[in-house]
Amino acid sequence: MIEEIQKLAKEYPSSKSAVLPALRYAQEQHGGWLPREAFEEVGEALDLTPAYCMSVASFYDMFQLERTGEHTVEVCTNVCCGLLGAQAVLEAFERELGVHAGETTADGAITLRAVECLGGCSTPTIVAVDHRYRQSVTPADVPAIVEQLRG
């Protein structure tokens, strides 16, 4: 881990710049979120305090400071998607998964999240499944998507 992170740092004139890539990498290594150790590791690798790394991570939506599911489903509920049924799509996922936005299924498999505009406004609703965009998602598509993740 430490070596990997220090490799990332080589790309930058100042190793501190590697904090974001380092946290991203650490999050992947730790199963989608950043436990205490992750901050200690990144801190050690880049000669920063764990507190500093936590402070940076907590600023960005893509870093999770609490345990998340193995998969994430992120539904854009900003205006453009909202105008064409994003709320229905979100609710479809809530029903299908039996959780509210921001929660993780009891089995720890899937985390559902509402997110701000993902930049796919002409093909609403945009749903990022494990960080890959699905375009023009309708409530009808929801069971299949969940099926796929569960399967």
Partner 1 sequence: MSASELVRVTIDGKEVHIAKGTGLVESALHAGIEIPVFCYEPRLGAPIGACRMCLVEIEGMPKLQAACTLTAQDGMVVKTARTSAQAAEGQNATLEFILVNHPLDCPVCDKGGECPLQDLTFRYGPGKTRMNFEKTTFEKPIPISPTISLDRERCILCYRCTRFSESVSEDGQLVAKNRGAMSVISTFEDEPYTGAFTGNVTELCPVGALLPTQYRFEARPWEIQSVPTVCGMCAVGCNTWVDLREGKAKRVRSRNHFEIDEGWLCDKGRFAFTHLRAPDRIVDPIQRVRRRGFEPVSWDAAIDAAEEMLRAARERVVVALSGSETVEQAYALAKLVRVGLDSHEAVLPEEVSGALDAYRAPLSSIGDAQVIGVLGDVPLEESAPIVDLWVRKARRNGARIVDSEDNLKGADVLIWSGPGGRGGVRVAQLAEQLGVSAAFYVPATPNGRGIADAWSAASDAEPGDEHSIGVLIVSGDEAAGNPNVRGLAERAEHVIVSSMFHGLAAGWADLVLPGTSYLERDGTYVNLEGRLQRLRRTATPPCPDELEWISRLAARFDIELAPYPSSVFAEVSKRCYGGLSFGEVGERAALRTYDAAPAHVDPPALPEPKTAEGGLHLVCYKPLFSGPAVERVTELQFQRPRAEVELSAVDAERHGVKTGDEVTLTGGGASVTLRAQVNRKLRAGVARVPDEFAGDVRGAVELSKAEVTA
Partner 2 sequence: MADTVVEVAEQPALVLRGYDGTPLVDLDTYRSVGGYAQLERARAMSPQEVTQQIIDSNLRGRGGAFFPTGRKASFIPTPDKVSKPIYITVNADESEPGTFKDREIMLKVPHRLLEGCLIAAHAIQSKHVFIYIRGEYTEEYEVLSKALAEARKAKLLGNVKVTIHRGAGAYICGEETALLESLEGKRGQPRSKPPFPAIQGLYASPTLINNVESITNMPIVLEVGPQEYAQIGAPPDSTGTRLFCLSGNVARPGVYEAPHGITTRHLIYDIGGGIPNGRELKAVMIGGSSFPVMTPNELDTKLDANSLGQHGLFIGSGVVCAIDDRTCIVQFALRVAQFYMHESCGKCTPCRVGTRWLVQILRAVEDGTASENDLEVLLDVCDRIIGKCLCVLGDSAAMPVASCVTKFRDEFRAHLAHGGCPFGADSSLANLFAPTDQHAHTTVPQELSVERV
Residues in contact with partner 1 by the rule CB under 8 A: 36, 39, 48-52, 54-55, 58-60
* Using rule CB under 8 A, residue 28 touches partner 2: no
For residue 20 the two structure tokens come to 């974001």
Identified binder of partner 2 from the candidate list 1, 99, 109, 114, rule CB under 8 A: 114
| Shortest Cβ 107–partner 2 spacing (Å) | 21
Q: Choose from partner 1, partner 2, none: what does 51 bind? Cβ within 5-8 Å by kind.
A: partner 1
| Shortest Cβ 113–partner 1 spacing (Å) | 16
Residues in contact with partner 2, total (CB under 8 A)? 58
Instruction: For 104, list phi and psi in degrees, rounded to 5.
Output: -120, 140
Q: What is the 3-state secondary structure (H, E, C) of the chain?
A: CHHHHHHHHCCCCCHHHHHHHHHHHHHHHCCCCCCHHHHHHHHHHHCCCHHHHHHHHCCCCCCCCCCCCCEEEEEECCHHHHCCCHHHHHHHHHHHHCCCCCCECCCCCEEEEEECCCCCCCCCCCEEECCEEECCCCHHHHHHHHHHHHC
Task: Name the residue nearer to partner 2 (CB basis): 107 or 122.
Answer: 122
Identified binder of partner 2 from the candidate list 2, 4, 11, 47, rule CB under 8 A: 11
* Using rule CB under 8 A, residue 67 touches partner 2: no
Q: Choose from partner 1, partner 2, none: what does 30 bind? Cβ within 5-8 Å by kind.
A: none
CB-based contact 96:110 (threshold 8 Å): no
Contact residues toward partner 2 (CB under 8 A) are 11-14, 16-21, 23-24, 46, 55-56, 58-66, 77-80, 82-87, 90, 101-102, 113-124, 128, 131-137, 141
